[in-house]
Structure 1
Amino acid sequence: MTHILYIEDEMEIGSWVTEELTERGYNVTWLKTGEGAESYTLAADIVILDVMLPGLDGFSIGKRLKSANENLPVLMLSARTAVEDKLEGLHFADDYVTKPFHPDELAARIEVLLRRFQKHEDVLEIGHLTIRTADMHILDKRTEKEILLTGKQYFIFQYFVRHLNQILTKEQLYEGVWKESFIEGDKTLMVHIRYLREKLEENPAKPAIIETIRGIGYRVKQQ
């Protein structure tokens, strides 16, 4: 799972961004100041950093983090829109987003930076499947053919992979993929999982990839 180090002192926007990113499958560590941030960078895949912080400002912290690890992508957030501020940020940072912003834009910029800085391809072996997690390329080892997922199938399976080995409720899956509240009795998710199993499972009637956890939900477990 992608680990984001997020540094933001404004409680309202910090809570909102953390919630949005968590719902999209990221693991977020939210710090209110940059003090001690270096100790969190070893586990981080990307840093999201506000400019206006108590004590050292985001520019100073970002330069420190980048100096310590030039391969760690840094994305600056700021209400400052002046060209001079953007240039100062981009002098060391890898992207600069001005407030207000839409969560979809932030997520897209995160994914772009993660692809740019990816040192190696993470490959999962699950049963007869080989999964390249960067782009969700799925290969059937039995036939050496790619399995193509469409629409919601792709996003559902991506959500499973991002939460590998976790038991996920129907509510978590639906809200994580559709970004809407789950309505009890809605069969939409069940139908999509059935179609997904038809593509991924050796025997869809006895699924081994997408397990049903009776009375709770589903799980994809790395074997």
Structure 2
Amino acid sequence: MAVKVLYIEDDKEIGRFVEDHLESKGYEVVWLRSGEGAAALHEGCDLVILDVMLPGLDGYSVGQRLKTARPSIPILMLSARTSIDDKLQGLRFADDYLTKPFHPDELVARIDALLRRNGTHSAESIAVKHLSVYEKENRVVNRDTNEEISLSGKQFHIFMYLLRRTGQILTKEQIYEAVWGESYIAGDKSLMVHIHYLREKVERDPANPQIIETVRGIGYRVRL
């Protein structure tokens, strides 16, 4: 079941941009242009994203009322106000505070962090040797150390492309064109470099990889 986000933002351009981005990441979004109606809708939602500057009641007032009614719901404040006083006012009740302008991927990362902290995210994972891979959360955990492995967007995309085709030998051209979205140029070393750094992070012994196997003269495959 998709995570349901209550998003309160009166700016139509920002609101549509955020709504489209979150929906592209698999979230269900309920978008309100003011705080009116929030009290009736928050019970069915997993998280609230709340702008400060709203018509009628401001975001601080709306957020405080929601938190009083349902203390467990995570609230993420969005605001162009950057002063420490504004942030402190928001963080008296909110769980996080993100200033505008922001990168949409940072917004998603903060949402995911709040949901993990709140126990909302599904624990479904793919087990690969000593790793647990959480595709929906874009994260990989080393079970040997219980630490999260930090992968770049490209590294995670490459890893998931291989994982979804476990045991299948994939050519460099196939992987490159799927991940980069453009035609592979013979001699391009980009994929090889990314695979090298990916192995440095996910393999127990990168010099003797047991997960991402090189098939000489062809490409790569993942072995579970």
Tell me the TM-score normalized by structure 1. 0.59
Structure 1 spans left out of the alignment, 5+ residues: 125-130, 138-149, 161-173, 188-197, 201-223
Identical-pair percentage: 50
Matches within 5 A, 1:136-155: 151-152=156-157
Please give the alpha-carbon distance, in whole angstroms, between the structure 2 residues aligned to 1:157 and 1:110: 27
Letter in 2 for 1:64: R
Please give the alpha-carbon distance, in whole angstroms, between the structure 1 residues aligned to 2:74 and 2:104: 18
RMSD: 3.8
Shift of 1:70: 1.2
Matching residue of 2:130: none
Secondary structure in 1 matching 2:10: coil
Larger Rg: 2
Letter in 1 for 2:78: L
Shift of 1:151: 3.2
Matching residue of 2:112: 111
Matching residue of 2:198: none
Secondary structure in 2 matching 1:5: strand
Tell me the TM-score normalized by structure 2. 0.58
Please give the alpha-carbon distance, in whole angstroms, between the structure 2 residues aligned to 1:57 and 1:116: 27
Matches within 5 A, 1:24-39: 24-39=25-40
Please give the alpha-carbon distance, in whole angstroms, between the structure 1 residues aligned to 2:106 and 2:69: 28
Structure 2 spans left out of the alignment, 5+ residues: 126-132, 142-154, 165-177, 185-220
Please give the alpha-carbon distance, in whole angstroms, between the structure 2 residues aligned to 1:52 and 1:28: 20
Which runs of structure 1 show a deviation greater than 2 angstroms over 4 or more consecutive aligned residues? 119-124, 131-137, 150-158
Please give the alpha-carbon distance, in whole angstroms, between the structure 2 residues aligned to 1:2 and 1:53: 24
Shift of 1:154: 5.8
Matching residue of 2:54: 53
Matching residue of 2:99: 98
Matches within 5 A, 1:74-89: 74-89=75-90
Aligned length: 163
Shift of 1:152: 2.5
